[in-house]
Homo-oligomer: A and B are copies of this chain.
Amino acid sequence: MELTTVKLVTIIAEAVLEDRLLHDLRHLGARGYTVGTVRGEGTRGIHASEWEGKSLRIETLVNAEVAEKILQHLATAYFPHFAVIAYAMDVQVVRGAKFKGGGGR
């Protein structure tokens, strides 16, 4: 069995941003995503969704180039004003082609 390495980008964000973030991900070239519900605390104070009790944990498997674009975009468009963090890591998958689509559409 051949394993390929792709990037897994995880984003923790306040719930109010869901639609925008998923739209951005698609636009930057992600071909799928998985969302879970979490809560948390960071260095910033409260965020508007806090009292509604939840944040999102979004995962997307992408190629290295798209991963870099996503992190870049989050850093400029969301980090300044929103309670958002993101991190990337290498993971092995069976069928890399599924996740390694070209950048953006």
Task: State the number of copies, please.
Answer: 3
Quote the shortest CB–CB distance from A47 to chain B (angstroms).
13
Tell yes or no: A21 within 8 A of B by CB.
Answer: no
Q: A32-B42, A34-B12, A40-B33 are in contact. Are A91 and B98 (CB under 8 A)?
A: no
Tell yes or no: A48 within 8 A of B by CB.
Answer: no
Bound-complex Cα distance A24 to B33 (A): 25
Task: Please indicate the chain B residues that have their CB under 8 angstroms from the CB of A90 in the complex.
Answer: 89
Bound-complex Cα distance A34 to B12 (A): 8
A residues apposed to B, CB below 8 Å:
1, 3, 6, 8, 10, 12, 31-43, 55, 57, 61, 68, 71-72, 74-75, 79, 85-95, 98
